[in-house]
Amino acid sequence: MDDLSRITTGIEKGDEASFRTFYDAYFPRLYRYLLKVSCGKEDLARDALQESMMRVIKYMKRFDHEDDFWNWLRRIARSAFVDQVRRRKGADAALSISSLEEVLPMDKPEQADDDLIDLLHVGLDALNPGDRGLIEGKYIQGKSYDELAADLRISSKAVESRLARVRKTLKAILLERLER
Amino acid sequence: MTRQDGYEKMLDDVLLDEGLHAFRDSLLNESFGALKDNRRKTTLRWIVPLAAAALLLVVFRAFFLTCQPEPYSPSGKKELVAETKPAFYMNTADYMNRTEPAYEMFIQNISLEDHEWLCRADSPNDVLIDSEPETAYLIESPGFHDFKITDSEMLALFVGIPCGLAETKGQGKRLIFMNEEDESRIVAKLD
């Protein structure tokens, strides 16, 4: 992200362009973090993300270093998530506050992403070789739809829809593993 | 793109499906609304205290002006001075600038006792002071209403302004201001 101090100062002043830059860069990362924290509960992760964004706008201050900023964002997301769990206290909140400390280690900034990528590998292992080859061809080898279509001797459209199916399968595996 | 980047991209595409894209757009709009509110609050944070300070200033000024002591005027002429220009001392300088300097000698064959001063006032408040024809002083100008005041009444006209009376042999009594600025602000010497 270009010039973090300029962007954070801009958000502090209410600048929409600065916020959009931040949003594009950190929405996926925060979502991944909250999905991991919420043990794969998508609606909980979304609500916490929504609350996090509002708090980011409210409490934004200037940051010069990426690591400091991400640590601050994680704290915001973490507290927003805890508040969401407290609000839902009941049947929906299978996750208790006391277990958060185990789920939310704050010592390693990239822990959530590392864990998710580990689970992704588990998911890839669970795919049939054809599907795994297709998705790794797309994301790891960087092949285009046309190249994949030529390899598999199917149309590009067919590659697209087959990839969408594989991603859906992988997501189901990921969420199911996160809930464990 | 590194292998790690490839897995991160795959992870995002797996997790951020179409439903999440819609959520992402609506949250962005909501965030813009919150930003706008924030801007408004930030602006108000400055404007409200400023407006309050300005209001206080106006109230204080109004209070201060209305609480100024009325200028003393000689006995029997009190209403004349007070009615026409209550803020006599404060506005004297402005007033003199705006007033047509119709300064004229007016002391003519008026006999004064040693402790008396001759004053002249007219509908606007103006006072001429002298004790000797040769040293006529004008405090503001334009009216013609002559009356006498005593030394103490004379000094009472300048409450808060350091001044005093001095008498020199053969030259009569003079009103002396300690600060030259006061003198030039209040007194205009007649030609």
What interface predicted TM-score (ipTM) does this complex get? 0.81
Residue B153: per-residue pLDDT: 78
Residues B148-175 pLDDT 10s: 677 777 778 788 888 887 776 666 677 7
**Exposure pattern of B162-183 as b/e (b: 16+ CB <10 Å)?**
ebeeeeeeeeebebebeeeebb
Q: How buried is residue A108: exposed, middle or buried, by Cβ count under 10 Å (0-12/13-18/19+)?
A: exposed
CB contact under 8 A, B27 and A170: no
Q: What is the pLDDT of residues A8-50, one digit of tens each?
A: 999 998 899 999 999 999 999 999 999 988 888 899 999 999 9
Taking the Cβ of residue A129 and every Cβ of chain B, the question of whether any pair is shorter than 8 Å is answered with no
- Least confident range from A39-53, A79-93, B33-47, B114-128: namely B114-128
B34/A58 touch (CB, cutoff 8 Å), yes or no: yes
Distance of CA A58 to the CA centre of its chain: 22
Q: Which of A20-34, B16-30, B64-78, B80-94 has maximum average pLDDT?
A: A20-34
Chain B residues with CB under 8 Å of A170 CB are 10, 14
How big, in percent rounded to 5, are the helix, strand and coil portions of chain A?
Answer: 75, 0, 25
Q: Which two tokens stand for residue A164?
A: 């969408």
- Which residues from B are below 8 Å from A161, CB to CB? none
Residues of B in contact with A49 (CB under 8 A): 27
Contact B6 A11 (CB under 8 A): no
> What gap in Å lies between CA A22 and CA B38, rounded to an integer?
17
Q: How far apart are CA B190 and CA B174, in angstroms?
A: 14
Distance from CA of B35 to the nearest CA of A (A): 5
pTM higher than 0.80 for the full model?
no
User: B173 phi and psi, to 5 degrees?
Assistant: -95, 140
Q: Residue B27 region, left (φ>0) first, then alpha (ψ -120 to 50), else beta?
A: alpha
